[in-house]
Every structure is written in structure tokens, then in C-alpha cells.
Amino acid sequence: MPENEEYKEVGKSEFRSYCIALCLSKKAVLRLMFATDERETDNCFKIYAVFSEQGTDIFHIPFFKLREDDLTFRSITDGIPAAHWYEREIMDMFGLVPKYHPDPRRLVFHDSFPADSHPLRKDWEISEKDLKEWGEGMVRKVPYDFLEVEGEGVYEIPVGPVHAGIIEPGHFRISAVGETILYLETRMFYTHKGIEKHFEGMSFHEGVKLAERVSGTSTFSHSTAYCMAVERMAGITITEKAKAIRTFLLELERLYNHIGDIGFLCAGTGLTVGNATGSKIKERLLRLNDRLTKSRFLRGINTIGGVTKDIFLHADDISLTIDTVAKEYKGLMKLLLGSVSHIERLENAGILSKNRALKLGVTGIAAKASGIDDDIRSSHPHLIYNKIFEPATFTRQEGDVFARMMARAEETKCSMHMIKTIIEGQHEGDLQVKADDIPPNSHALGYTETPRGSVFYWVKSDGEGRPLRVKLRSPSFCNWPSVPFAIQGNIVPDLPLCNKSFNLSYSGCNM
Amino acid sequence: MWLKILKNLISRKEAIRFYKSKTQTLKTLTDENPGSQIDVERSADQAPSHEEQNTLFSGKEKMNRVFGKSLKIRQVDSGSCNACEWECTALTNPIYDIQRFGIDFVASPRHADVLLVTGPVSRQMELALKKTHLAMPRPKIVIACGDCAIDGGIFRGSYAVKDGVSNAIPVNFQIPGCPPSPTVITEKLLKLMERI
């Protein structure tokens, strides 16, 4: 078991008070909460919560057992609001019911999915008829009640799931008075593909491919976190060179995402030249990806035990491209910060307060823009980040769209600097180490920082060394619940702008 | 005669008779050449057989007749990982600039000639996809873009997906790749339009 994971079994009734005490006394943050079906070995379900303590590289992981005679547990959402979606997800996927949950509606499954059907249970089966009805969506088996705002002059704008642009599907209901948004209700999980269940049907080595396809623009971070989890579980230490290549590609991924996002924000304010410049620079970086790895989205590089290609052979190409990008990026920022009409739209739009962000467990760019120094690269150093990463000092206090853009800009600078440092350094070792033996009945956590925030994988193997449970948590899953709070009180035309500033993945969230 | 009508020199009755005679000759012309007419009356629910799929839109003349030299695309994500979407977005950037070929992405299915579907069709998205397909005016082309849209790809066999777009709506054209690069998408679209 990896050193920085501290598991502790607590009683079912003490779980809630234990978690709350952890949050209060050690200023711990809830990173992840999930259930497992271990009825075959331990004759029970288990619910785990992963907390990371601030200031030290330790994950506190309290868990408790649930016997089949009583499948309810006391919800912790009233004490730790960040657990809100996790508990609803556990309810849908395992049928374990959080008692006194403030919002006990379904999260993952839509109305036509049969009641009392929970896919992540090991003995789960579904009939062809139910599957067909689920797809047709005509029979509403468990109706979902949207929250409605009542009052004089309140009207509702339903949007989606098919939107006007080239984006992913999601349903929004905007309750507004005049131009001002009173409340935004989101209905997600249109792109639910059953990825966690699908992992269980593959071997750990095949799973890398699936992890790469959880969220398109965070391909490399997801596969790194997954490989890291499996390697930690199997006790494999990868070489310095593989670590350096992974770190390098993580930063390259961050770079193309952030520059693309900064440019994409301009599409929300109608500054076409900014959008065009941003997408031009992004394209330059994607082509660099293609030359380095034969994949524009960095697929097929990660493997359990290391990486498949030595990208440092292209060091000249890399430094030349990064120099050009740095120059063009400087021009883009000069253009954007000099456009008063653009900046005025961004300032004071979509404010997410620090207090709310803390309570909801927001991560990544959104957290940094709201004054929270949340970066798993500095709080839990992995790969070669402890050598090259300077602890983040670029948090901003405003929490608005502009702050999120500037947080991206600061990270971009930081990434460019790190990329140069890695290329200049010497990295010894082979690309891969042997990783054939996966130990049975063991588990571990893998994590890294995607362009959107921290990503977590928790893997557990069964008696034959195949996956028993793979839990993934993309940053979008914990950031989506904060979007309605940020949008409250803004005008309707600013909604796409606020949404773009978070730039969350639907696919990563819906799994 | 046209000038006379325009200048109101002849009576209304005469003008109508003239119109009718003209349209009749047009009709007889097309009746003699049934091959040049496209099957626009096909119902949306009737899936064309495999052979029909290949012949339905073949021939440069037919494509030009039906769509002129432009193609309006409505893109729908039916559960993809978002990589295909970014490649479609990249098509409109200054480097690929797909608008110069007369191809563009439109906001409403009612304005679209082509439905470009990405993703393996998740069951929760199936109904929305079918409704979008129904909302399109005929004739309509459906393109499955990306490996998972073609046969489910890596997600094949999962309980929550339909293993490809062809299991939900009839597909006319496929663009393979995971994700297909903008160059590949452009090339395939131009091939579809019989431009190359």
C-alpha cells in the first residue's frame, strides 16, 4: 500500500462525525467519495471518503461497512456540502441510500431507467426490454422534478440537450426575471457511457485506452492518473526518464488547453480576432503533439510501467515551437488586455465566492480564481514536480470570469517555464519497466492535475489481479455543482461566457 | 411573352395559361430523365438498404442539384469524449477555414443538410438524437464521425451505449479516426460533395 494513503475503518454511525472532525481539525478537503461492492470477499458494501490534508502529503481515507440487511447510511452532505453529488451517485449506482440527504433525486440516470436497478453491483442484470425503453425514453419510470421558481414575472428558458454550437450535450433550465437569472438548474449525464462498469470488464493494461477516452482534452492527465494508480498498487517504480516525459506531456496538454480556452472566451464576447488567434496558437501546439506522439490529443503514449515513445529526441523541434508559441501568446495577451470592451464583459461576471468554492470542494482554475490555493502538483508532489514546480502563488481573489482567465494566463507562463526546464535537464533510464504482475486484492489511489483541476483514480484488484472496481473522478464532476452559484444574479447573455470560463467537460463528469 | 406579362400588356387569364404550359414542359423533361431526380420523398423512419445507401447520393450532378455547392452541417454529440468536437471546432479556425469550401456548421437542424454525429450514442442521448434527425428537412445525410460513432469503438459492449450511430438512425457516410484530424474530416466532406 502506498505510503501517503492512511486507511481507517470507522463505525457506520461515527462516519459522519469523524469526517466533519477531519475537516475542522486538519483543514482537510474532500477529494473523492465512492462505494465498492465487496460482498464476495467481505460480505458487505464499503463506502470510502478521501480527504487530503492541507500542508502535508497525506490522504486520510476513512471507510465503513454496510451489511445487506440495512442499506442506508447517514448522509454527510449537511456537514460537508462537497459530498452532495457523490452521495447521489452512490445511490444511483449501488442503491445505498443516504438518509437525510437534502436533495435525494436521481443524479446519473434519467426518468426512463428502471427503479431498483444499480449497475455497479456485481450481481446486476438488466433485461433487453428495460434497455430498449431506457433508450426510447418514452416511459417515465422515476420522474425527475425540476425545481421551479414561482412569482410574478418569473419565466423559464429551457436549453439543450442539443445546443446551438459544437459542444457537448446538457440540459439547462434558466429561471429569470427580465434579464436577470434567479436560478439555473442543470441536468447532466446525457453522455453517461457506463465507463466505470466498462473498466471492470477489461484487464488493467487494456484500461489505459479507456482512461484516455474519458475526456478528450484531458487525455494525457487521465491516462497518467490511471497508470499511476495501477503502478502504485503493483509497487512499480517507473524510471526518471518516464517520469520526465509524463511531466512534460502533462504540461504540454495544459499549455494547449489554456491558450485555446483564453482564445475561446473571446467567442463569448464577440471578439473574433482573439478567438482566431487563440485557435491558431492551439493548432500549432496540436501539430507539435502530432509530430511528437502521432496523436493530436497525446493518445497511445502512456502505458502501465512507463511511456512508449521518447519524445526528447525532438528537443530542437519542441524548443523552436515553444519559442514561437510564447511570442504569439504574448501578442494575444497584449491584444486581449488592451481591448476594453472585452475586459469589461469579463470583470464582475460570474462571481464564485471563496466561501462557496471551499464548501463545494471546487478544484483547479475555478478554485485558484476564487482565492483557494488548490494545486495537487504542490500539495501532493508526484512525477518530477517536486524538482521543477514552484509552489503556486497565482491565486486571485475576485472569483469572476476575468480572474479565471488570468489564472489560466499565469498557469500558461508557469507551464512554458517548466517545459523549458525539463528539456534542458538530463533524464536517465529506460522508457518502460516490466509490469506484468498485478497483485490480487490490493488497491491504490492515482492523481494528477489536469488543465481543469485535480483528477483522481482509485483502483482495486480482485483475487485474480483483474479490476474489481475503478473509480474515477474528473475535475468537472466537482466543479459542475458550483456553476449555478456563479451564474446566479447575472444576465442571460452572460451565461455562455460564464460557462466558457469554467470550461468543464461533460463527458468527464458524466462518465 | 415574358416582357408582355411583366408590363401587364396581356390579361391575367392568358398569363396563367402561359405559366401552366411552361411548367408542363418542364415536368415532361424530368419524366424522361428519372435518373437525375433524387429520392426526396423517403420517409425518415425507412432505413435505406446498404446498396441504396451507396447509390443514394452518388454522382456529382445529383449533389450539385440538391445542395448546390454548399453543405450545411448540424453537429450532434451523442456521448463522445469531446475530442471529435474540438476537431470540428478546429475546422472553422483560420488554418483550416472550412467555410471557403462552402461548408459550414449551423445552429439548428432545420437549416442543415447533413447531420454529423460523434460518439457511440449513449442511451440517455438516443431520444434527443432521433428528435434532431426528425427535425431535419429532407433530403438528409447522416455522417458517423469517429471510431466510436461507427461501431462503438472502445465503449463497445457497455450497458449504456448503443454501439454506433447506425443502431439509432440510418447512416450514409463514415469518417474513421479517434479522433479524425481536421484534414481527414475536410477530405471526407469534399469527397462526399464529389468535389475531389
| A424-460 pLDDT per residue, tens | 888 888 888 888 888 888 899 999 999 998 999 999 9
Nearest to B170 by CA among B141, B128, B149: B141
pLDDT at B67: 64
Nearest to B179 by CA among B118, B122, B104: B118
Give the max Cα distance, chain A. Answer: 70
Contact criterion met (CB < 8 Å) for B179 and A286? no
Same domain, B23 and B112: no
Chain B interface test: which of A125, A162, A256 (most B C-beta within 10 Å): A162
Q: Which domain holds residue B26?
A: 2-31
Tens digits of per-residue pLDDT, A365-396? 899 899 888 888 888 888 888 887 776 567 78
**A191 contacts in chain B (CB < 8 Å):** 77-80, 119, 122, 124-125
Spatial contact of B87 and B185, defined as CB atoms under 8 Å apart:
yes
Pairing, β A306-307 against β A154-159? unpaired
Distance from CA of A301 to the nearest CA of B (A): 14
Distance from CA of B167 to the nearest CA of A (A): 11
Asked if B120 reaches chain A (Cβ–Cβ under 8 Å), the answer is yes
pLDDT at B31: 42
pLDDT at B65: 64
- Which ipTM value was assigned to this complex? 0.89
Q: Residue A330 above 50 pLDDT?
A: yes
Pairing, β A454-461 against β A443-449? antiparallel
Residues A499, A501, A502: CA angle, nearest 5 degrees = 70
Asked if B75 reaches chain A (Cβ–Cβ under 8 Å), the answer is yes
For B126, the closest chain A residue by CA position comes to A135
Q: Residue A469 above 70 pLDDT?
A: yes
Distance from CA of A157 to the nearest CA of B (A): 17
Distance from CA of B50 to the nearest CA of A (A): 24
Tens digits of per-residue pLDDT, A128-158? 888 888 888 888 888 888 888 888 999 999 9
Which SS3 state, helix, strand or coil, does residue A104 take? coil
Cell output for A66: 454496510
**A296 contacts in chain B (CB < 8 Å):** 87, 179, 181
pLDDT at B191: 85
**Residue A453 region by backbone torsions, left for phi larger than 0, else alpha for psi between -120 and 50, else beta:** left
Asked if B184 reaches chain A (Cβ–Cβ under 8 Å), the answer is no
CA distance A271 to A274: 6
Which A residues 158-187 touch B at CB under 8 Å?
Answer: 161-162, 164-169
Using only C-alpha atoms, chain B has a radius of gyration, in whole angstroms, of 21
Q: Residue B30 above 60 pLDDT?
A: no
Residue ranges and CATH numbers for the domains of chain A are: 5-131 (3.30.460.80), 195-510 (1.10.645.10)
Q: Residue A194 above 60 pLDDT?
A: yes
Amino acid at A286: L
Reported residue count of chain A is 511
Distance from CA of A379 to the nearest CA of B (A): 29
* Banded model confidence at residue A267, pLDDT cuts 50, 70, 90: confident
For A170, the closest chain B residue by CA position comes to B125
Distance from CA of A495 to the nearest CA of B (A): 17
- H or E stretch covering A334: helix A315-338
**A136 contacts in chain B (CB < 8 Å):** 126-127
For A213, the closest chain B residue by CA position comes to B81
**A213 contacts in chain B (CB < 8 Å):** 81, 83, 148, 153-155, 178
pLDDT at B62: 67
Using only C-alpha atoms, chain A has a radius of gyration, in whole angstroms, of 23
Same domain, B73 and B154: yes
Same domain, B27 and B58: no
CB pairs under 8 A between A and B: 141
pLDDT at B29: 39
Spatial contact of A382 and A238, defined as CB atoms under 8 Å apart:
no
The closest CB to that of B85, out of A138, A161, A168, belongs to: A168
As a whole number, mean pLDDT of residues B166-180 equals 90
Name which residue leads in pLDDT, B36 or B23.
B23
Cell output for A444: 491504490
pLDDT at A397: 83
Distance from chain centroid for Cα A207: 18
Which A residues 204-223 touch B at CB under 8 Å?
Answer: 209-210, 213-217, 219
pLDDT at B2: 57
CA distance B192 to B196: 9
pLDDT at B140: 85
pLDDT at A254: 92
Instruction: Count how many Cα atoms sit within 13 Å of the Cα of residue A432 in the half-sphere of its side chain.
Output: 12
Same domain, B20 and B106: no
For B73, the closest chain A residue by CA position comes to A166
Contact criterion met (CB < 8 Å) for B181 and A296? yes
CATH number, residue B146 = 3.40.50.12280
Same domain, B6 and B71: no
Spatial contact of A448 and A382, defined as CB atoms under 8 Å apart:
yes
Same domain, B182 and B117: yes
CA distance A20 to A66: 20
Mean pLDDT across chain A, nearest whole number? 89
Q: Residue A317 above 50 pLDDT?
A: yes
Q: Is residue B37 included in any domain, yes or no?
A: no
* Banded model confidence at residue B8, pLDDT cuts 50, 70, 90: low
Distance from CA of A261 to the nearest CA of B (A): 12
Cβ atoms < 10 Å from Cβ of A489: 11
Q: Is residue B130 included in any domain, yes or no?
A: yes
CA distance A338 to A325: 20
For B108, the closest chain A residue by CA position comes to A164
CA distance A56 to A248: 25
Q: Is residue B39 included in any domain, yes or no?
A: no
Name which residue leads in pLDDT, A272 or A395.
A272
Cell output for A160: 439543450
Same domain, B13 and B89: no
Nearest to A190 by CA among A160, A147, A232: A160
Cβ contacts of residue A184 below 8 Å, gap of 6+? A172, A173, A174, A175, A483, A484, A487, A488, A495
Nearest to A101 by CA among A142, A65, A72: A72
Bridge partners, A459 (sequence order): A444, A470
Same domain, B187 and B102: yes
Asked if A286 reaches chain B (Cβ–Cβ under 8 Å), the answer is yes
- H or E stretch covering A185: strand A180-187
Total number of domains constituting chain B: 2
Q: Residue A21 above 60 pLDDT?
A: yes
Q: Is residue B36 included in any domain, yes or no?
A: no
> Which of A23-27, A253-257, B24-28 has the least mean pLDDT?
B24-28
Tens digits of per-residue pLDDT, B75-111? 999 989 889 999 999 999 899 988 888 899 998 999 9
Same domain, B25 and B108: no
Tens digits of per-residue pLDDT, A206-220? 999 999 999 888 999
| Sheet (strand A454-461) strand order | A443-449, A454-461, A467-473
CA distance B115 to B119: 13
Same domain, B181 and B96: yes
CA distance B176 to B185: 9
Distance from CA of A465 to the nearest CA of B (A): 21
Name which residue leads in pLDDT, B133 or B29.
B133
Q: Is residue B167 included in any domain, yes or no?
A: yes
Tens digits of per-residue pLDDT, A173-187? 999 998 999 999 988
As a whole number, mean pLDDT of residues A269-288 equals 91
For B131, the closest chain A residue by CA position comes to A162
Q: Is residue B181 included in any domain, yes or no?
A: yes
Phi first, then psi: what are they for A232, rounded to 5°?
Answer: -65, -35
**B99 contacts in chain A (CB < 8 Å):** none
Same domain, B76 and B10: no
pLDDT at A147: 87
pLDDT at B105: 92
As a whole number, mean pLDDT of residues A189-213 equals 90
Distance from CA of A190 to the nearest CA of B (A): 5
Contact criterion met (CB < 8 Å) for A216 and B85? yes
* Banded model confidence at residue B57, pLDDT cuts 50, 70, 90: low
pLDDT at B196: 61
Q: Is residue B148 included in any domain, yes or no?
A: yes
pLDDT at A90: 92
Mean pLDDT across chain B, nearest whole number? 77
CA distance A472 to A214: 9
Same domain, B15 and B102: no
Q: Where are the alpha helices (DSSP H) in B37-121?
A: 50-56, 60-67, 83-91
Contact criterion met (CB < 8 Å) for A276 and B93? yes
Q: Is residue B169 included in any domain, yes or no?
A: yes
Cβ atoms < 10 Å from Cβ of B173: 18
pLDDT at B24: 52
